[in-house]
């Protein structure tokens, strides 16, 4: 058997493991309530970590906890794997790193495992609202900022913040609308009111678990006009990464942790 055939066979085996392995675990960030994301220093792939045993996942989690990354282990049952993998597209992840630090470590591009309809192939009248660049950058920023909030922002974190805000200002987002009560709103721990804004439909569904709201797509430039006088800004994905932006009717400022 040729080396090329062995490589193809191994690749197919890896895909099958990700789909059908008896056990599969992911590491979730407690700072963002989303998968912990990593940037490969060599390939620059944006990755999530997966493990085929709880022991291996726990070993990696303990290493991260020592570095002050608060993570938890989540088991992904077979019936939920398609939804989990598909949910990585809207957050900008392009690679799955399985078994890091084990003998069976390998990486697979997300697009090799899961194919999905392109925006051009959507049914007429349907719109896919997603902001993967902003969402991913927000995850990187908040993972670092919240693990050591007293340290302030490094130069790299300031760059992430600038990239995130640039992506926000170019983006199109979802807001929650109640036909009778108008726009949805959220309060922070101090009781301040904010307009919830969602990068994609999955984040909207987290907020709309009781089915009281309908999603409404809006360009970011229009968001300041939607704020009421009682609102102190907007909270992007309040049940996820929860980035608070100091937006007023006149200006868009930087983010807060």
Instruction: For residue range 44-55, list pLDDT tens digits in order.
Output: 999 999 999 999
For residues 72-88, average pLDDT: 98
User: Torsions phi, psi of 57, nearest 5?
Assistant: -65, -40
Per-residue pLDDT, 2: 37
Give the C-alpha separation, 116 to 189, whole Å.
39
Which candidate, 88, 101, 13, 122, places its Cα nearest to that of 55?
101
Give the whole-number percent of the chain exceeding pLDDT 90: 82
Which candidate, 253, 167, 172, places its Cα nearest to that of 220?
172
Q: Which CATH number belongs to the domain containing residue 95 in this structure?
A: 3.40.1350.90
Which candidate, 245, 222, 241, 219, places its Cα nearest to that of 233?
245
For 67, which DSSP code?
A: T
Instruction: Determine the structural domain holding residue 197 and report its residue range.
Output: 132-245
**Burial zone of 240 (CB within 10 Å; 0-12 exposed, 13-18 middle, 19+ buried):** buried
Where a domain ends, among 113, 146, 177? Answer: 113
Whole-model pTM: value is 0.91
Total number of residues shown for the chain: 257
Q: How many CB atoms lie within 10 A of CB 97?
A: 17
For residues 98 and 138, state if they share a domain.
Answer: no
* Domain count across the chain: 2
For residues 7 and 51, state if they share a domain.
Answer: yes
Residue 151 has pLDDT above 90, yes or no: no
Does residue 121 lie in a domain region? no
For residues 35 and 98, state if they share a domain.
Answer: yes
User: Torsions phi, psi of 84, nearest 5?
Assistant: -65, -50
Least confident of 7-16, 32-41, 86-95: 7-16
Residue 184 has pLDDT above 70, yes or no: yes
Residue 165 has pLDDT above 50, yes or no: yes
Per-residue pLDDT, 123: 72
Does residue 251 lie in a domain region? no
């Amino acid at each position: 058997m040729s080396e090329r055939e062995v490589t193809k066979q191994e690749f197919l085996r890896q895909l099958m493991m990700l789909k059908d392995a008896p056990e599969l675990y992911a590491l979730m960030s407690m700072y963002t309530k989303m998968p912990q994301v990593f940037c490969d220093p060599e390939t620059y792939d944006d990755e999530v970590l997966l493990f085929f045993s709880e022991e291996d996942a726990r070993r990696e989690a303990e290493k991260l906890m020592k570095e002050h990354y608060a993570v938890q282990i989540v088991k992904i049952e077979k019936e939920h794997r398609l939804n989990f993998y598909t949910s990585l597209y809207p957050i900008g992840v392009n690679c799955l790193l399985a078994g890091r630090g084990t003998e069976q470590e390998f990486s697979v591009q997300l697009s090799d495992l899961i194919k999905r309809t392109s925006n051009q192939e959507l049914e007429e009248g349907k719109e896919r609202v997603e902001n993967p660049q902003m969402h991913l950058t927000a995850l990187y920023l908040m993972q670092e900022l919240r693990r050591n909030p007293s340290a302030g922002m490094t130069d790299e974190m300031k760059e992430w913040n600038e990239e995130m805000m640039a992506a926000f200002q170019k983006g199109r987002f979802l807001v929650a609308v109640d036909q009778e009560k108008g726009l949805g709103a959220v309060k922070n721990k101090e009781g301040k009111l904010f307009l919830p804004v969602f990068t994609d439909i999955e984040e909207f569904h987290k907020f709309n678990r009781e089915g009281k709201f309908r999603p409404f797509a809006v360009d970011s430039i229009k968001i300041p006009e939607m704020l009421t006088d009682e609102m102190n800004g907007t909270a992007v994905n309040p049940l996820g990464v929860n980035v608070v932006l100091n937006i007023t009717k006149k200006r868009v400022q930087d983010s807060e942790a």
